[in-house]
Amino acid sequence: MSSIKCIGILTSGGDAPGMNAAIRAVTRSAIYNGMEVKGIYRGYKGLITGEIVEFKTQNVSNIIQRGGTILKTARCMEFKTPEGRKQAYDNLLKEKIDALVTIGGDGTLSGARIFAQEFNVPVVGLPGTIDNDLFGTDVTIGYDTALNTIMECVDKIRDTASSHERLFFIEVMGRDAGFLALNGALASGAEAAIIPEISVEKDQLSEMIEQGLRKSKNSSIVLVAESEVTGGAIGVAERVKKEYPHFDVRVTILGHLQRGGSPSAQDRIMATRMGAAAIDALMEDQRNVMIGIQNEQIVYVPFSKAIRNEKPINRDLLNVLRITSI
């Protein structure tokens, strides 16, 4: 029998579709296992300011299909200070919260890790980010929905690109990772992807142009991962205008629309499985771990590994993209 009687749950960092499905699963699994649940609003900020509300099973009704997070989210600078974290801990004690489940990306898990170490609080993290950049899990919550959104947008841009015979650079999110750009390109049949993982090694733009964009068509679509390393879509387009002025170039930045929308079936299922697994982990006395999914199986990944290790991108996919875009 676990000694944990009450858990707190929060979402932090950039929102991701499927976070609500995760909140629902954590809440209901905890209640099912006899625990109390407290919803903490606005991420670590709400832990510091005490925006904490008791959650019953009906608090999470009718949310599995909704994008965003009903708990709201924030990036909290104060939680980066020892004083901020102490205040957060005082609120945990006041609210009689024995353990935390935090849903978010790299920054969220880094905050969870240091908090757990400083105050010896059991914390379990769920990977919630469209970027898919957390090590130890095949996918993160929100990634699949964002990929589908990108695919739908590119399909639409292709209509106008092909009518005008233009070269489009479409910038997608990912922070410093190219998962959305590479798999978004594969899913939408784009001609190429420019990703940060490769940009450090070679000039992807000149290679792409030298190899020739798709011969059978006069229009092309290239997905560019946002990042200082790639230069973003605007940076790449500027270069093309200077170095290859014969192209009729346009830029689209998909931006925050990639973060919205109703979660896909895959994200809802992942989030639900991971949410239930977070409660299992706490009952098994696991702490300071992120719940991951590897080959369809739930795994526990120590925070230190999930955060620090750079998740490798599957480079074979670049070749598949090159071959299928001739």
Assess contact for 156 and 127: CB atoms under 8 A: no
Closer by beta carbon to ligand F6P, 122 or else 128: 128
- Residues 243-272 binding ligand F6P (CB under 6 A) are 259
Residue 57 C-beta: closest distance to ligand F6P, Å:
30
Task: Determine if 283 is a binding residue for ligand F6P (CB under 6 A).
Answer: no
Question: Which tokens belong to 99?
Answer: 């353990």
Distance of CA 213 to the CA centre of its chain: 31
User: Locate tokens 């205008």: which residue?
Assistant: 241
Euclidean distance between CA atoms 244 and 241, whole angstroms: 6
User: Locate tokens 């106008």: which residue?
Assistant: 160
Mapping DSSP to helix (H, G, I), strand (E, B) and coil, where does residue 290 land? strand
Half-sphere exposure of 73 (CA within 13 A, CB side): 24
Region of 173-181, 228-236, 302-310, 314-322 interacting with ligand F6P (CB under 6 A): 173-181
Distance of CA 75 to the CA centre of its chain: 14
Task: Determine if 175 is a binding residue for ligand F6P (CB under 6 A).
Answer: yes
Euclidean distance between CA atoms 251 and 169, whole angstroms: 5
Name the amino acid, one letter, at 165: E
Name the catalytic one among 15, 98, 131, 144. 131
Closer by beta carbon to ligand F6P, 37 or else 254: 254
316 is catalytic: no
Closer by beta carbon to ligand F6P, 147 or else 173: 173
Q: Which of 52, 173, 225, 283 binds ligand F6P (CB under 6 A)?
A: 173
Closer by beta carbon to ligand F6P, 6 or else 187: 187
Residue 24 C-beta: closest distance to ligand F6P, Å:
21
Instruction: Identify the bridge partners of residue 147 per DSSP, sorted by sequence position.
Output: none
Burial class (CB in 10 A: 0-12, 13-18, 19+), 259: buried
Task: Determine if 230 is a binding residue for ligand F6P (CB under 6 A).
Answer: no
Task: Determine if 14 is a binding residue for ligand F6P (CB under 6 A).
Answer: yes
- Residues 98-157 binding ligand F6P (CB under 6 A) are 105, 129-131
Residue 13 C-beta: closest distance to ligand F6P, Å:
6
How many amino acids of this chain bind ligand F6P (CB under 6 A)?
Answer: 10
CA 45 → CA 20, 23, 27, 82, 88, distances in Å?
19, 18, 20, 14, 8
Task: Determine if 318 is a binding residue for ligand F6P (CB under 6 A).
Answer: no
Active site residues: 131
Which residues are near ligand F6P by CB under 6 A?
Answer: 14, 105, 129-131, 173-175, 226, 259
